[in-house]
């Protein structure tokens, strides 16, 4: 292989990387505060009333309390963009393993822990693409308040009958 060709290729790649770095494309998106999270969520879900917002210490995830607790909003950074999700209370319970299987005890939808001295809220949702979220917060009282809210929301969903894919409650047999 020609050493001049190799050197030219390496130099060209190095210049592209340096130009990308100089233009600032190595920085991911960041949620600066609750107002920024609410504004970004409202662009996609304009019909929801946002009652409260909490932003993770890293600025990569925000939870939004919607419509008096009827739903939960997520704003999450993904590379240099932000994505939003609207979750109902049903998303806070574990997915059914099978319509005919005996129900397994569901793990809690939320948990609160201390990580490196900071209150950390762990959230589990019934989703295959991403089922666990972790928010490291600055204020323990706020973390406890959000954990209580999410637990009440999950408990309300657990009290309602859950419909399987056929529209019938699990274990009710095939639809006719």
pLDDT tens-place string over residues 2-30: 889 999 999 999 999 888 878 766 678 89
Torsion of CA 18, 21, 22, 27, to 10 degrees: 180
| DSSP label of 169 | P
Q: What is the pLDDT of residue 176?
A: 38
Which tens digits make up the pLDDT trace of 36-94? Answer: 999 999 999 999 999 999 999 999 999 999 998 889 999 999 888 999 999 988 887 64
Residue 136 or 116, more confident: 136
CATH assignment of 34-91+107-158, among 3.40.1350, 3.40.50, 2.60.40, 2.30.29: 2.30.29
Count Cβ atoms within 10 A of the Cβ of residue 75 and give its class: 0-12 exposed, 13-18 middle, 19 or more buried: buried
Q: Can you give 85-152 as a three-state secondary structure string?
A: EEEEHHHHCCCCCCCCCCCCCCCCCEEEEEECCEEEEEEECCCCCCCEEEEECCCHHHHHHHHHHHHH
The radius of gyration computed from the CA coordinates of the chain, to the nearest angstrom, equals 22
For the chain, the domains span: 34-91+107-158
């Amino acid at each position: 292989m020609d050493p001049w060709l190799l050197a030219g290729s390496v130099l060209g790649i190095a210049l592209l990387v340096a130009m990308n770095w100089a233009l600032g494309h190595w920085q991911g998106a960041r949620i600066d505060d609750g107002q920024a999270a609410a504004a970004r969520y409202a662009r996609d879900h304009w019909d929801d009333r946002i009652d409260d917002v909490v932003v993770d210490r890293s600025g990569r995830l925000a939870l939004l309390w919607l419509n008096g607790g009827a739903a939960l909003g997520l704003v999450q950074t993904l590379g240099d963009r932000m994505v939003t999700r609207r979750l109902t209370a049903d998303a806070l319970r574990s997915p059914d393993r099978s319509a005919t299987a005996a129900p397994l005890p569901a793990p809690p939808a939320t948990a609160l822990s201390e990580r490196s001295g900071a209150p950390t809220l762990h959230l589990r949702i019934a989703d295959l693409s991403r089922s666990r979220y972790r928010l490291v917060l600055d204020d323990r009282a706020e973390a406890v308040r959000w954990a209580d809210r999410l637990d009440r929301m999950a408990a309300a969903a657990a009290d309602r009958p859950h419909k399987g894919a056929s529209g019938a409650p699990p274990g009710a047999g095939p639809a006719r």
